């Protein structure tokens, strides 16, 4: 039986990609991670009947680096680019005769298991990038513009809770000849975006009339790119603080400074490493001392840390957000379409007797609340309602 598409008025023709989540989180290293699932719905909204040669959706991951080496008498340009992953869905295969798709709204659900060993997304305009994109194309006849849409997919990574070595405190200590001894402590090696890092200073002066003029802390990001056999490393300060009122009273001077890890993909990258790019972070400290004769000396130190998409403490001790709990449920194409606002209880994909191609039709709806989605009652074999406590205990 052929279901005619529901006619919904639109001002223009549009091809749109709806993804369940544009940020995919890998749990564990490239060796440990099991991967995750990319899924969503491709919708085609037509204000009038059109001719289409094919409809495809592509997921492509690319990695590229480029930089100019200005050392020496001649400038040398290094560049490399490769495809790290690609997949294609064909919703309307190319054919000799173009298909006629009538006015209305159509949808195709898609899903793809994404391997856990793919490199993390990186955007560094100066040196290179690792990027993943979904691109949909409705190929039209000659001289007619194609319908297209693109969505950038972000792949990030956090370590497993079993990686406890990254939540242990770090400390460095040393002495400066006849001036002072120092000790710097941080509570963990790993931090997530937005975390505040407490840095504890303990200074024991040896020389008399020694004062601290200022203490500075900076978080520096180092990016290394490689086009064998050449390598370039660039550094930038992503966070900075200065204390010009460090207490200098008593036999031991102590103070805890706080520096914040910035948020946002443009402001900081997580620690990562692949065949072409490597990103690391260091906390750097400078203690400016004023000697008895007025001369200013500087004591410098650094501690390597790891920046992750999620702090290790958060990963080990927190439950998923309530609004994200539905993501752990079994995949149901109708439910995904429902959540993306393109659900229709009755749909099909066929060629009609009139020669028009009728893909799956849907109603465009508003995104439902969590309770509405979780309690949606349909004919699928999966239950979208949460189990009772007694049922969960029996199942266990």
Is residue 330 predicted with pLDDT exceeding 60? no
List pLDDT tens digits, range 272-301.
999 999 999 999 999 999 988 889 989 999
Is residue 359 predicted with pLDDT exceeding 60? no
Is residue 347 predicted with pLDDT exceeding 60? no
Q: What's the mean pLDDT in 377-390?
A: 40
Mean pLDDT of the chain: 80
User: Among 43-57, 72-86, 157-171, 172-186, which stretch is predicted with the lowest mean pLDDT?
Assistant: 157-171
User: Among 13-27, 28-42, 112-126, 326-340, which stretch is predicted with the lowest mean pLDDT?
Assistant: 326-340
Say which residue, 365 or 264, is predicted with more confidence: 264
Residue 139 has a pLDDT of: 95
Banded model confidence at residue 312, pLDDT cuts 50, 70, 90 = low
Say which residue, 161 or 396, is predicted with more confidence: 161
Say which residue, 265 or 49, is predicted with more confidence: 49
Per DSSP bridges, beta strands 356-358 and 99-101 are parallel
Residue 109 has a pLDDT of: 96
Residue 229: asked if its preceding bond is cis (omega within 30°), the reply is: yes
Give the whole-angstrom CA distance, residue 323 versus residue 345: 24
List pLDDT tens digits, range 129-175.
999 999 999 999 988 999 999 999 999 988 877 767 777 889 999 98
Residue 123 has a pLDDT of: 83
For tokens 């010009």, what's the residue? Answer: 244
Residue 151 has a pLDDT of: 97
Walk me through the domains of the chain, giving residue ranges and CATH numbers: 14-158+319-395 (2.60.40.640), 164-315 (2.60.40.640)
- Report the percentage of the chain scoring pLDDT > 70: 74
- Listed in order, strand segments (DSSP E) in 117-169 are 122-124, 128-139, 147-158
**Would you state the structure tokens that stand for residue 187, as one six-digit string?**
């509570």
User: Among 8-12, 20-24, 196-200, 234-238, which stretch is predicted with the lowest mean pLDDT?
Assistant: 8-12
Name every residue whose Cβ is closer than 8 Å to that of residue 266 and which is 6 or more positions away in sequence. 123
Report the chain's terminal Cα–Cα distance, integer Å.
44
pTM of the shown model: 0.72
User: Rounded to the nearest 10 degrees, how much is the dihedral formed by the CA atoms of 170, 174, 176, 181?
Assistant: 80
- Report the percentage of the chain scoring pLDDT > 90: 56
Say which residue, 340 or 52, is predicted with more confidence: 52
Is residue 111 predicted with pLDDT exceeding 50? yes
**Would you state the structure tokens that stand for residue 295, as one six-digit string?**
């001369």
Residue 327 has a pLDDT of: 43
Banded model confidence at residue 208, pLDDT cuts 50, 70, 90 = confident
Assess contact for 367 and 339: CB atoms under 8 A: yes
Residue 344 has a pLDDT of: 47
Banded model confidence at residue 311, pLDDT cuts 50, 70, 90 = low
């Amino acid at each position: 039986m052929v279901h005619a598409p529901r006619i919904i008025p639109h001002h223009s023709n549009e091809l749109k990609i709806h993804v369940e989540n544009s940020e995919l989180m890998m749990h564990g290293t490239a060796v440990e991670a099991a991967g995750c699932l990319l899924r969503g719905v491709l919708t085609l909204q037509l204000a009038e009947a059109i001719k289409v040669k094919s409809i495809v959706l592509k997921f492509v991951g690319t990695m590229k680096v480029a930089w100019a080496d200005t050392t020496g008498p001649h400038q040398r340009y290094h560049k490399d680019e490769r495809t790290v992953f690609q997949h294609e869905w064909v919703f309307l295969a190319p054919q000799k005769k173009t298909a006629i798709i009538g006015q209305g709204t159509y949808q195709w659900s898609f899903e793809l298991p994404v391997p856990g060993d793919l490199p993390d997304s990186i955007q560094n305009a100066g040196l290179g990038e690792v990027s993943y994109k979904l691109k949909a194309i409705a190929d039209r006849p000659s001289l007619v513009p194609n319908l297209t849409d693109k969505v950038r997919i972000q792949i990030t990574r956090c370590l497993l809770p079993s990686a406890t070595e990254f939540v242990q405190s770090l400390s460095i200590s040393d002495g400066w000849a006849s001036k002072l001894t120092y000790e710097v402590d941080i509570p963990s090696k790993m931090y997530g975006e937005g975390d505040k890092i407490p840095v504890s200073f303990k200074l024991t002066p040896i020389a008399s009339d020694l004062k601290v003029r200022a203490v500075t802390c900076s978080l520096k990001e180092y990016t290394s790119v490689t086009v064998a056999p050449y390598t370039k490393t660039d550094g930038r300060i992503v966070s900075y603080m200065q204390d010009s009122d460090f207490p200098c009273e008593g036999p031991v001077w102590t103070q805890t400074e706080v520096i914040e890890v910035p948020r946002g993909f443009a402001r900081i990258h997580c620690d990562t490493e692949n065949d072409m790019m490597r990103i690391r972070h260091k906390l750097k400290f400078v203690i400016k001392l004023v000697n008895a004769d007025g001369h200013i000396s500087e004591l410098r130190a650094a501690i390597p840390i790891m920046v992750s998409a999620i702090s290790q403490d958060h990963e080990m001790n927190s439950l998923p957000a309530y609004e994200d709990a539905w993501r752990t449920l079994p995949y149901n194409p109708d439910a995904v379409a429902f959540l993306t606002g393109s659900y229709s209880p009755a749909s099909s994909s066929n060629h009609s007797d009139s020669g028009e191609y009728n893909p799956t039709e849907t109603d465009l709806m508003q995104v439902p609340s969590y309770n509405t989605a979780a309690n949606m009652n349909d004919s699928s074999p999966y239950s979208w309602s949460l189990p009772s406590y007694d049922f969960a205990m029996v199942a266990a």
